[in-house]
Amino acid sequence: MNSAQQADGWDRSSPAGRHAVVVGGSIAGLLAAHVLTEHADRVTVVERDRYPEGIGPRPGAPQSRHPHALIEGGQRALDALLPGFTDELRAAGAPRVGIPADMVQWQVGRWFRRGPASTYVFTGSRLQIEELVRRRVLANPAVTTLESTDVVGLLGDASRVRGVLVRERGDGARKEERPLEADLVVDASGHGTKAPQWLTAIGAEAPREETIDTGLAYSSRVFRDTNGSLGTDTHAFWVVPNPAQVYGAVVLPLEDGNHLAVLSGLRGDEPPTDDDEYVAYTKRLPHPFVYHWMREAEPQSPAFGFRKTANVRRRYDLPGPRPAGFLATGDALCTFNPIYGQGMSVAAMSAVALRDALADMRRTPTTRRVQRALLAASRQAWDISAGSDKKMPGATGNALASRAVDRPVDWYLSRIQERTPGDPVVGEAFRRVLALSAPVSALFAPKVARAVLFGSSAPTPAEPPMTREEPDV
C-alpha cells in the first residue's frame, strides 16, 4: 500500500486499538456497527433517542407508525449479516405475505391475477424488526451506545475526519460539547442528516444532492378486520397510484392480528387524519372495495400523517475535496419515497456492501471506493423509486430530466407493467426486480423479452379477486 492509500485506506492488519463511530442507531446504523466489529475493537453508536425497553417507538423515527415492508432483497441481506434472522422474525409472529397469491392488487388500470406467489414480504411493524436487529447487534460487547446524545459536528479537517463532537441531550442548561475521537465515522443519521453542514464546517465539500419530489403524502391508521375479508384467503390490499390515477391505498397485516392501512395522495389533496374524513377519502380510489372494508372495520388507533416522501440521493461518490475516514449509509446517503417499501431492505443491503468492500483483499478499501460500493447497493432501488416518481404529475426536483437513450427502455418497461397483472412469466420477473432479489437485467431474459415484445396482454379479473386462483391440475 502506498502512502496515499495509507492516508485514505482502512488498514486490515489488525483492529487492535481502532475505534469506529456510527451516527444514528436505527436499522442502518446498527447493521453498519455490526459489520465494523470485524475491523475495529470498539464501535460506538451515537443515538439521539433513548432506546425503549423491548418493542417500542422512538421519537426520532416518526415513520415507525406507518407501514413497512421487508422485501426479499432485505431478507437475504439480514440473514447474511445476522444468520437466522428471518426465522426469528417468523417465530416472533411477523406476517409473511405471498405476492400475488395473498393480495388483492390494482395497478395500471387492471386487477392482478392471484396465481402462485413468486415473492414474499414481511409486513409486521418496523418496531418489531428494529428491536430484533438491536438485540442481536448490541449483544456484541464490542458495540456500545451513547443514547440521548446529539452529534453536532466532525473532528478533523478537509483531508481526514478524526471523530465527532457530541452533546448530551436533556432538560435544563445547555450541555457541553465534547470530542469523541475515532478512526472512522459512519453517518447513518437518516434523511435529516446534518453531515453536509458538518463537512463544510471543516473545510470539506458537501455532496451534490439529487432530488425528485412528487409531493406524495400519506396517512396511516390501525384497524381490526371485523367481517372476515382479511386473514384467511386474502391477507392484504394494494391500490398502486400512477400518473393517470394518483390515489393509493395499502392494507397490511401486523403481528398482533390487526391491519395497518395507509392512504396516499399528492400535494393539495393529502389524505386527512380526521376520523370521519379518513374513511371517506377512500372514495377517491378507482374501486370502492377498500372503502367497503374500512367502513366495517374497527379503528384501533388515530390516523397519523407523513409528508417527507421525496427521493434524495447525496453523491459522496463524486470527485471533490472530501475527507478520508467518513462514510454515509442508509437514508443519510439515499432516501426513497416510502411508498415503494425499500428503506429497511436497502439499509441491510448497504451493510452487506460495506462488509464486502472492507473485506475485499483485491482492493484497498479507500473511503471513496467504499462509498461507491454503498451507493451501488442503493442504485436499483433509486432507479425504481425515482424512475417512477419522475413521471407523476407535479413532480419537482433537479433529477427529473430524461435522456433520449432512456426512451426505448421506458417503452419496454411500460409494456412490462401492462403485462405484469396477467402474465405469470413477466409478473414473476418484475416482482423479483421490485423485491431487489434480481437485477434489472432479469427483465430482458429471453423468455421475458419474448412475452413483452411479441405477446399480448393476458386477460385479468374484471372485479377485485377476493380469492386465490385454483392451481392448474
User: What's the pLDDT score for residue 405?
Assistant: 72
**Model pLDDT for residues 182-220, shown as the tens digit of each residue:** 999 999 999 999 999 999 999 999 999 999 999 999 999
Contact 114, 101 (CB under 8 A): yes
Find the CATH number of the domain harbouring 368.
Answer: 3.50.50.60
Which H or E element spans position 209? strand 208-212
Among 336, 358, 387, the domain-final residue is 387
Which residue blocks in 202-342 are alpha helix, DSSP H? 275-281, 289-296
- Kind plus residue range of the DSSP H or E element containing 120: strand 119-122
* Length, in residues, of the chain: 473
Query: Are residue 205 and residue 237 in the same domain, yes or no?
Result: no
Among candidate residues 387, 415, 444, the one where a domain is terminated:
387
Does residue 412 fall inside a structural domain? Answer: yes
Q: Are residues 231 and 302 in the same domain?
A: yes
317 and 440 belong to one structural domain = no
Model confidence pLDDT, tens digit, residues 430-439: 999 999 999 9
Give the model's pLDDT for residue 172.
Answer: 61
Domain identity same for 223 and 291? yes
- Identify whether residues 38 and 139 lie together within a single domain: yes
Distance CA 413, CA 430 (A): 9
Query: Distances in Å between the alpha carbon of 325 and those of 12, 162, 164, 328?
Result: 14, 7, 11, 11
Would 81 be classed as within a structural domain?
no
One domain, residues 149 and 205: yes
**301: containing domain:** 216-306
Q: Are residues 46 and 137 in the same domain?
A: yes
Cell triple for 203: 473545510
In a domain, 465, yes or no: no
Is the domain of 150 the same as that of 30? yes
Residue 329 to residue 347: CA distance in whole angstroms: 7
Q: Is residue 366 included in any domain, yes or no?
A: yes
Residues 297 and 326 in one domain: no
Task: Work out the end-to-end distance of the chain between its first and last CA atoms, rounded to an integer number of angstroms.
Answer: 63
Would you say residue 92 lies in a domain? no
**Residue 10: its pLDDT value, please?**
58
Q: Are residues 48 and 151 in the same domain?
A: yes
Amino acid at 75: Q
Rounded-to-integer distance, Cα 311 and Cα 390, Å: 10
Q: The whole model's pTM is what? A: 0.93
For the chain, state the CA radius of gyration. 23
pLDDT tens sequence for the chain (473 residues)? 333 333 465 565 566 689 999 999 999 999 999 999 999 999 999 999 998 887 766 666 656 677 889 999 999 999 999 999 999 999 999 999 999 999 999 998 999 999 999 999 999 998 999 999 999 999 999 999 999 999 999 999 999 999 999 999 877 657 789 999 999 999 999 999 999 999 999 999 999 999 999 999 999 999 999 988 898 899 999 999 999 999 999 999 999 999 999 999 999 999 999 988 999 999 999 999 999 999 999 999 999 998 889 999 999 998 888 899 999 999 999 999 988 999 999 999 999 999 999 998 787 788 999 999 999 999 999 999 999 999 999 999 999 988 777 788 899 999 999 999 999 999 999 999 999 999 999 999 999 999 999 988 889 999 999 999 876 64
HSE-CB at 192 with a 13 A cutoff on CA atoms is 11
Whether 199 and 283 share a structural domain: no
Does any domain span residue 470? no
Q: Is residue 88 part of a domain?
A: no
Residue the block writes with cell 393476458: 458
Torsion of CA 390, 396, 398, 401, to 10 degrees: 40
pLDDT at 65: 74
CA torsion through residues 424, 425, 431, 437, sign: positive
pLDDT tens-digit map of 84-139: 999 999 999 999 999 999 999 999 899 999 999 999 999 999 899 999 999 999 99
For residues 277 and 236, state if they share a domain. yes
User: What is the total count of domains within the chain?
Assistant: 3
User: Is residue 2 a part of any domain in this protein?
Assistant: no
Across the strands, what pairs with 314?
209
CA distance linking residue 123 with residue 430, whole number of Å: 20
Task: Among 387, 415, 434, identify where a domain stops.
Answer: 387
- Strand-pairing partners, residue 223, are 259, 299
